[in-house]
Amino acid sequence: MTEPRLIPVGRPASIFEQVGGHATFTALVDAFYAGVDQDAELIAMYPEGHDLDGAKWRLQAFLEQYFGGPTTYSEQRGHPRLRMRHMPFPVTFDARDRWLTHMRAALDSIDLAPLHDELMWDYFQRAATAMVNTADGDRQPPGPLL
């Protein structure tokens, strides 16, 4: 009688791995910044203007880490502290909506499986709203997180 064969169980693949790794995040970030570069209101918020290489690296490294990839972002920049890092910039609801418009187009361009698309889109919507720090007409920024 043959003994049953045990199948080793490893850790589940991260979202980073499931969606295609570094190449997928490069495509996402490139598509996103192609839109930002054409958005006069949004590009004006970037200190380096149309030179987006630094912004691309920071966003890609952060997203790769957030979704279970390499920890390069934290190794080089420390804790993400997203709200603090965005505080010097007047992030209004209009800026959030513009950012989300370009990120939605970028997500559509990489054609993820529905589950991964929904998971990432949910994160982007929550994170973008959390960055709002400046009143926009009668729309007020969210209060401090408790």
pLDDT at 146 (0 to 100):
46
Residue 59 contacts residue 29 (beta carbons within 8 Å): yes
Rounded to an integer, the average pLDDT of 97-123 is: 97
SS3 at position 45: coil
**Residue 9 above 70 pLDDT?**
no
Q: pLDDT of 28-42, one tens digit each?
A: 999 999 999 999 999
Q: What's the predicted TM-score (pTM) here? A: 0.86
Contacts of 75 (CB under 8 A, 6+ apart): none
**Does the pLDDT value for residue 5 go beyond 60?**
no
Interval 76-102 mean pLDDT: 91
In angstroms, the CA 73 to CA 59 distance is: 9
Q: Tell me, what's the pLDDT at 12? A: 82
